[in-house]
Structure 1
Amino acid sequence: MSIVRVATYNIHKGVQGLGPARRLEIHNLAHAVEQFDADIVCLQEVRSHNRKLEKHFTRWPDLDQANYLTPDGYEAVYRTNAVTRHGEHGNALLSRWPVLESKHSDVSDHRFEQRGLLHVQLLVESVAVHVVVVHLGLIHASRERQVQRLGRYIASELPPNAPLIVAGDFNDWGAQLLKPMADLDLRTFDGFRLPTYPSRLPLLHLDRIFVRGLKPVSAHVPHGRAWTRMSDHLPLIAELEL
């Protein structure tokens, strides 16, 4: 039996607050990611660069955020979802295990929201494990269509019996995507209520980890003042049996 520890976290582009109260949290986030002690870390709203904020904050890292957040001994994979006026942001995966391959699929549903799937194949204990990092749309109909596109992507790009983890920010306010995901043979933690949003008073279970070919063992959401400062989401950390 092998236990794989997986974390998913929407880092809100490494910046919190508005206007004069805006503050850089990417340095604290680097310590937080290290504390996860996770084999696989799935991140959303990760900045590749932002020319405006790079000038505003004197302590802006020289590296892109994915590589800056990568602990020693891990490998980072990043793909852009959205191109903005001043930069780019997207999904990232940090892995303690060797990366065999990575791909990206655009699942944008309309021109106002740029969304994508980051697909990474890892070698875990000599087993090829596929991980898809997602950040779905704000409109329910868009999320339903994006889950359908996820299903088509899995059917066309993955072996039918390969172990699979799908993790990220599903923006699923009413837990309406559980059945469509189950129809894809993707299951999550039954009976667990793990609210992750908003971080100051978590009420909604927006961040989820779904699996196929692995067994959910445990899951938890860390709480505390430090976590409420770093992002508008809390991280979700799970242990899976391979």
Structure 2
Amino acid sequence: MRVIVQNLQKRPGLASSLVREHKPDVLLAQEINLKTEDEALFKTAAHNTSKMGFGTAVYGRGPTSITDMILVNSPHAETGWLIVKKTTVALYEDGVHLVSFHGYNGMPFKSVSKLIDHVAAVLAVIPKGSPAVFAGDFNTWSKEHVDAVTNLMMNEGFMLACSWPYPGRKLPLDHAFIRDLRLDSYTTYQNESDHIGIILDLHLDP
């Protein structure tokens, strides 16, 4: 299973371009600008987006590969109580749960506990013990953020498959956690977003 994880920075049409270029089985998109994407490609995608089309999405290559969509919002609003980060959860083939996660940010205070509340709210809707990919932009602005998220995920049976850099920062914001899956390889790539993207090649543990 080839999975792309990308914060798109609301760049018009970028998700469609990445799908055409890299031909993934799955795209876990954050900050998608859905109204600018190819309708034919994203007709059956699961998404948790605002009226303007901004949010997260889970794309699957086949027309019936994505089912059982669950939408989870952060328990905490931010930026003057106007913005609530959105997460999309969906079921993929072979019973793999997919999570496109855009974590609580909370500028300028960047609360660790509120980010953990958001992660926990998403974990609560994923069946325990099911294979899963939980990935995206976690907004882990400090080592404390990274450690807290990693510990919570490990307690739920996930392992940190990889983290990848955000330009100009020592600590990564983007992470991919997996459960009952094996990471064969990964490749990062540059694109027009401010976030680097990643391509993960995964398979189910026997």
TM-score (norm 1): 0.70
Instruction: Give the equivalent residue in structure 1 for 2:45.
Output: 76
Please state how far the C-alpha of 1:68 moved relative to its aligned partner. Answer: 4.5
Alpha-carbon shift at residue 214 of structure 1 (Å) = 0.6
The residue identity in structure 2 corresponding to 1:32 is L
Partner of 2:21: 35
Mapped to 2, the partners of 1:5 and 1:118 lie a distance apart of 18
**What is the SS of the residue equivalent to 2:19?**
helix
The answer to whether the Cα contact below 8 Å between 2:47 and 2:56 also exists between their aligned partners in 1 is: yes
Q: Which residue of 1 aligns with 2:175?
A: 208
CA distance in 2 between partners of 1:216 and 1:131 (Å)? 15
Distance in structure 1 (CA, Å) of the matches to 2:163 and 2:55: 27
Where does residue 18 of structure 1 map in the other structure? none
Q: Tell me the distance in 2 between the aligned counterparts of 1:69 and 1:235.
A: 23
Amino acid of the structure 2 residue aligned with 1:239: D
- Greater radius of gyration (CA): 1
Q: Number of residues paired by the alignment? A: 190
Contact 1:220 1:236 in 2 (8 A): yes
Give aligned-pair identity as a percent. 23
- C-alpha separation between the residues in 2 aligned to 1:162 and 1:187? 13
Distance 1:161 1:149 in 2: 16
Aligned partner of 1:236 in structure 2 is 198
Shift of 1:95: 0.5
Tell me if the contact between 1:30 and 1:68 (Cα under 8 Å) persists in the aligned partners: no
After TM superposition, the score normalised by the length of structure 2 is 0.81
Residue deviations 1:69-93 (CA, integer Å, cap 9, x gap): 938xx8422222x45xxx3411111
CA RMSD, aligned part only? 2.4
When residues 9 and 28 of structure 1 are mapped into structure 2, their CA distance, relative to the original with a 3 A threshold, is closer
CA offset digits 1:32-69 (Å, max 9, x no partner): 33222211001011134xxxxxxxxxxxxxxx235459
Which one of 65, 85, 105 corresponds to residue 36 of structure 2?
65
- Return the offset for 1:101: 1.9
Question: What residue ranges of structure 1 are gaps of 5+ in the alignment?
Answer: 15-25, 49-63
- Relative contact order (C-alpha < 8 Å, sep 6+): which is higher? 1
